[in-house]
Amino acid sequence: MIDLYTWTTPNGRKVSILLEELGVPYIAHPIDISKDEQFAPDFLKIAPNNRIPAIVDQETGTHLMETGAIMLYLAKKYDRFQAEGDEYWHMVEWLMWQMGGLGPMLGQVHHFVKYNAGKSAYAEERYSKEAKRLYKVLNTRLEGREFVVGEGTGTYTIADMAIWPWVSRYEWQQIDLAEFPNVRTWYKNIAQRPAVKRGYDVPKYVSDIPTA
């Protein structure tokens, strides 16, 4: 059994989607970041950085924070949604791309463009421009690929699951997916997966998955 401490954010949805895809038993514990519940002492013991999501594996006693570490751990434990051979490192490469680039930069777009519009024209322009650059990088990567790892039909991996929830907030980022047709096709295909639909609503339903 996995205890998942999470909220309705792209980072939280990465792990709930993976757990739903794995089909393993888990319990979702809501950590309402709008109420600063991530700073509670009990949660701090699990996630010293005060960020969701985090997990506790009841079978091993392992507790982990940081989505990249969590996803690699779960993929290895259950031996699923990993690429093989040399493609394994391409999977890690794109997972790190999401963690180091796409997620942080789109998060800044959310902060300056959606929630604090008009307060800093410089920040809005800087992060919006970077968001479009990153979408272009992903669009190029998906040329002739169904998923970000592998050629052709490729392999659906934790890299896709990490990237997809951030793209699902394309409206917050004022991104028109029609400008990135490969991303749009990839996004729509993954959005139709039953496990993705279930994982999107963890720990609670907020809204339907945006349709591109």
Residue 167's domain comprises 87-193
pLDDT of residue 183: 98
Among 62, 80, 98, residue at a domain's last position: 80
pLDDT of residue 123: 96
pLDDT of residue 152: 83
In a domain, residue 182? The reply is yes
Classify each residue of 97-107 as buried b or exposed e, where b means 16 or more C-beta atoms within 10 Å of its C-beta.
bbbeebbebbb
Reported as type and span, the H/E element at residue 127 is helix 121-141
pLDDT of residue 57: 98
In a domain, residue 9? The reply is yes
In a domain, residue 205? The reply is no
pLDDT of residue 212: 77
pLDDT of residue 1: 97
Domain check: are 93 and 186 in the same one? Answer: yes
Give the DSSP letter of residue 120: -
pLDDT of residue 7: 98
In a domain, residue 44? The reply is yes
Domain count within the chain: 2
Domain check: are 47 and 99 in the same one? Answer: no
In a domain, residue 210? The reply is no
Domain check: are 9 and 69 in the same one? Answer: yes
Domain check: are 105 and 187 in the same one? Answer: yes
Domain check: are 97 and 188 in the same one? Answer: yes
Cross-strand pairs, 80: none
27, 43, 81, 174 from 160: Cα distances, Å: 23, 28, 10, 21
Domain check: are 128 and 144 in the same one? Answer: yes
Domain check: are 22 and 49 in the same one? Answer: yes
Among 24, 46, 80, residue at a domain's last position: 80
pLDDT of residue 154: 85
pLDDT of residue 34: 94
Is 184:178 a contact under the CB 8 Å cutoff? yes
In a domain, residue 202? The reply is no
Domain check: are 72 and 147 in the same one? Answer: no
65, 70, 167, 184 from 4: Cα distances, Å: 10, 10, 22, 29
Chunked mean pLDDT (size 10), the chain, 212 residues:
98 98 98 96 96 97 97 98 94 98 97 95 96 98 96 91 98 97 98 98 97 84
Domain check: are 106 and 154 in the same one? Answer: yes
Domain check: are 28 and 109 in the same one? Answer: no
- Identity at 152, one-letter amino acid code: G
In a domain, residue 153? The reply is yes
In a domain, residue 99? The reply is yes
We report the CATH number of the domain holding residue 141 as 1.20.1050.10
We report the CATH number of the domain holding residue 23 as 3.40.30.10
